[in-house]
């Protein structure tokens, strides 16, 4: 994003994998953190903490990013963002996502981990194509 200021947009969608029984609650928790402007900090803790995604861990991560535990717990326990997560999953399935990470750059699918240079190249190609 820093390399292409004003030229690219990042859209993050949830796609918790079915075989991971704590992935959906973790996705909802990240949305709760996002409501408080702490999505990316929380997101990063989730990935560093895998597979430590018990309810208690999710609450501790919220505290670590500066959120009030009880407010966060109410959001999490109410499943406030469950429908949003499920909507993302449905959208992903509709376009053929089967695993994570999956990236789309102007419709071009990149599945799995890739070196940053791959993203640079694909973004450059997409920008060049848009100029034509």
Q: Is residue 28 part of a domain?
A: yes
In a domain, 65, yes or no: yes
Overall domain count for the chain:
1
Range of the domain at 45: 16-96
Residue 115 resides in a domain: no
pLDDT at residue number 132: 86
Question: pTM of whole model > 0.85?
Answer: yes
Tens of each residue's pLDDT in the chain, 132 residues? 899 999 999 999 999 999 999 999 999 999 999 999 999 999 999 989 787 899 999 999 999 999 999 999 999 999 999 999 999 999 999 999 999 999 999 999 999 999 999 999 999 999 999 988
Q: Does any domain span residue 63? A: yes
Mind giving me the DSSP string for 24-88?
HHHHHHHHHHHHTT-HHHHHHHHHHHTT--SHHHHHHHHHHTT--HHHHHHHHHHTTTHHHHHHH
């194509």: which residue's tokens?
129
Tell me which DSSP letter residue 67 carries: -
């Amino acid at each position: 994003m820093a390399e292409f200021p004003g030229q690219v947009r990042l859209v993050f969608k949830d796609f918790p994998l079915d075989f991971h029984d704590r992935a959906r609650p973790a996705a909802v928790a990240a949305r709760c953190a996002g409501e408080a402007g702490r999505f990316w900090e929380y997101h990063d803790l989730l990935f560093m903490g895998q597979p430590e995604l018990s309810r208690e861990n999710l609450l501790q991560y919220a505290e670590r990013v500066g959120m009030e535990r009880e407010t966060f717990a109410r959001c999490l326990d109410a499943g406030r963002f469950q429908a949003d997560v499920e909507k993302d999953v449905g959208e992903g399935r509709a376009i053929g996502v089967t695993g994570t990470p999956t990236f789309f750059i102007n419709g071009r699918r990149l599945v799995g981990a890739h070196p940053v240079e791959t993203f640079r190249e694909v973004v450059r190609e997409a920008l060049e194509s848009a100029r034509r």
